[in-house]
């Protein structure tokens, strides 16, 4: 009987610790996503089950410059807009971000943000590590 009471107390403690840290974890997941999206600029392609390299520029007058990077504004503009205990919203408010990310009739798609297998794996790893720290604390 004492073991059952102790187990119930442990469960309550774990539940409380998980709830207390949930908003911070959601924020950390958003930061992880922003970092992942920014790494796509360095890799010059979208990382999702490997790197889907961006098409080269037509009439490339500046061959040494990476694709989608002239001033760095597009990369720097990807950020967390809002964060709560259940979701995080990541935005890029540059007027041309969506055009590059999904492509248009005149601009080829050069996706830098969106769902990604590698990002999912990184997210699960982060959550599992967080849960393990909570389980060890008590």
**pLDDT tens digits for range 2-19:** 666 665 666 677 677 777
Note whether residue 9 is domain-resident: yes
Residue 83, pLDDT score = 92
Cross-strand pairs, 92 = 78
Look at residues 24, 7, 39, 18 and name the one whose alpha carbon lies nearest to residue 119.
39
Tell me the C-alpha distance between 68 and 81, whole Å: 22
Mean pLDDT for the chain? Answer: 90
Note whether residue 61 is domain-resident: no
Assess contact for 100 and 112: CB atoms under 8 A. yes
Note whether residue 59 is domain-resident: no
Q: Residue 3: enclosing H or E segment and its boundaries? A: helix 2-43
Note whether residue 97 is domain-resident: yes
pLDDT (mean) for 118-124: 96
Looking at the structure of the chain, the number of domains it has is 1
SS3 80: strand
Residue span of the structural domain in which 39 resides: 2-54+66-137
Q: Encode pLDDT of 45-64 as tens digits.
A: 999 999 999 999 999 999 99
Query: Does 110 score more than 70 pLDDT?
Result: yes
Strands (E) located in 2-138: 45-47, 51-53, 78-83, 88-92
Note whether residue 19 is domain-resident: yes
Q: Encode pLDDT of 63-98 as tens digits.
A: 999 999 999 999 999 999 999 989 999 999 999 999
Note whether residue 60 is domain-resident: no
Note whether residue 33 is domain-resident: yes
Assess contact for 101 and 114: CB atoms under 8 A. yes
Q: Dihedral angle at the C-alpha atoms of 7, 13, 16, 21, nearest 10 degrees?
A: -120
Note whether residue 95 is domain-resident: yes
How many CB atoms are closer than 10 A to CB 50?
10
Residue 134, pLDDT score = 79
Query: Does 130 score more than 80 pLDDT?
Result: yes
Assess contact for 80 and 90: CB atoms under 8 A. yes
Residue 69 phi/psi, 5-degree rounding, is -130, 110
């Amino acid at each position: 009987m004492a073991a059952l009471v102790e187990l119930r107390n442990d469960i309550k403690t774990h539940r409380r610790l998980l709830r207390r840290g949930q908003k911070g974890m959601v924020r950390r997941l958003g930061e992880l996503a922003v970092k992942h999206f920014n790494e796509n600029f360095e890799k010059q392609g979208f990382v999702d089950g490997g790197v889907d390299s961006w098409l080269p520029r037509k009439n490339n007058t500046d061959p040494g410059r990476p694709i989608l990077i002239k001033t760095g504004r597009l990369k720097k503009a990807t950020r967390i807009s809002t964060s709560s205990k259940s979701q995080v919203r990541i935005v890029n408010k540059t007027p041309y971000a969506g055009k590059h990310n999904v492509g248009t009739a005149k601009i080829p798609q050069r996706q830098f943000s969106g769902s990604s297998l590698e990002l999912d794996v990184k997210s699960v790893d982060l959550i599992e590590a967080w849960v393990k720290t909570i389980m060890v604390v008590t």
